[in-house]
A and B are shown apart, each in its own frame.
Chain A
Amino acid sequence: QNVGCRTLSLSAHVGFDSLPDQLIRKSIKHGFCFNILCIGETGIGKSALVSSLFNTDFEDSPSTHFLSSVRLRAQTFELQESNVLLKLTVVKTVGFGDQMNKADSYQPIVDYVDAQFEAYLEEELKVIRSLFSYHDTRIHVCLYFISPTGRSLKTIDLLTMRSLDSKVNIIPVIGKADSISKTELQEFKKKIMSELTSNGIRIYQFPTDDETVSEINTITNGYLPFAVVGSMEKVKIGNKMVRARQYPWGIVKVENENHCDTIKLRRMLCTNMEDLKEKTRAYYESYRRCRLEKLGCRDIGPENKPVSLQEVIEAKRLEFCLEVERKEEEIWQRFVQRVKEKAAMLEEAEQQASMPVLTEFEHLTLMHQEGELKFGEEKLLEDEKAQFVEKKGVTESIQSQVSVSSPVSLK
């Protein structure tokens, strides 16, 4: 990276060690953003968990079980802690797992994640763009809620996670984990992790390359999937109000690490935010690469020489023009052919119809009728021709837009 650079030593204090502070100061001014996607069946506790994670009451209304398809609902909140301003966007699935036929349940979710990448790509490709002030909506982490059956993963879980594991960081969590006993929980967790591995599903691993956090992250990786309990209500314990669920047989405290893993999840999300965002950027890069390659862009041309974007655009434009010309020619030839055919047909009919018995008048009438027919046919052909010319005009205007318009419109 530093080829041809020599390392110099400084003879006194210069002062650029304040650079990280300068950068941090600017970032604080600009604010941070973080986007979470929660996937889980209706009633599994997504809203309760999010409220518990950020220890604040996000207003939300419970949804019905009778939606015909899966939808996604996004809400943005501004949280502040000391001088850090965080724009938090929480996207939840609505109606997941409620349909009779769940074959397509994962599709709206995948489409949503892709749409955020697409929106960012569009902004990036604009001529006049403002990336600096762009509100990044790309999903940084996906919390996948597993039902606390105690048995194994459901098919829909595997299907959904597999469709997302190359696009987003997945952290599996067990929802409403207070319905499983401790011993059952250990078995359940083991089963889930082995099923994920054997199905080749990649979930997010907390980074272990930095020595300061590798130990705690390795331990945390061993707690996956997190058994979480969330609560919107608070219960009075002693003289404090704590988030908890009150049962006749006891109180489950959300923030007690012996009761559930909610605090672990919170800690891990917060201390690895930067890493989650970095991995999201990597997912975005592969999305971008696929998208651009699909549109026919390449970095290396046919002779293995690097191709500039201009050349690619010009080449594509030429290709398109030639294609249009070819089609035009084809249609014109067909038109000419049909006119000829029609003319031949009419002549033949005329010959057949002209019999010496006919009087002059009848002959004239017949000729008049034939003439009208011919005129009708020709008018039809004229109309067709006019329609075609119109279509050509529209195609041309689309073509000039398509060659310079965004990828979305080519979808």
Chain B
Amino acid sequence: MPEDRDWEAYKVPPTRTPVSETTSSVPNPVVFFQTVFNYVVDAPVTFVREWIERQQAKNKFYYYHQKFRRVPDLSECLEGDYLCFFEAEAQWRRDRMVDQEIVEIIRERLGACKQREGPNQFQNCAKEMEQLAQVTKAYQDRYGDLGVHGNARTCLMKQKHRMMEERKAQANASQ
């Protein structure tokens, strides 16, 4: 069964609709539809789901998130040490996947904020927007135009060029 989203992650504050006291004698039809839905759809589905969960609870087993050891980076490898290159490359790919997931999470946060705030989003979601802008800029700086054949070596070269540009900009600014 696909897992549900984590409802606690983007907690919506409780609604503050006031309890209304009607003075009419006509019963609220919404209550009728709610009870119909409860008996026809909600109760059977909940019963089936709980029965399934009782079957699955008999033998529980768990899965874990793998933790990888850190290995020397590509910049710490000697020239010609192909094994070091291989391990650094694998580590760089794992780090890139982690960074992609981080950007995705920040994007989801902004989406949740917009959904929560509705028409107030432009004022109240400024922090999330700023965070997303920063994170995507950082991702673009690091992994940006490497292309589909980008590997740890091209990324290192890009970093080297970035540092050279920075140094040149500093030298120009100090003049």
A and B, one complex? no
Interface residues, chain B, with chain A CB atoms under 8 Å away: none
Which A residues lie at the B interface, using CB under 8 A? none
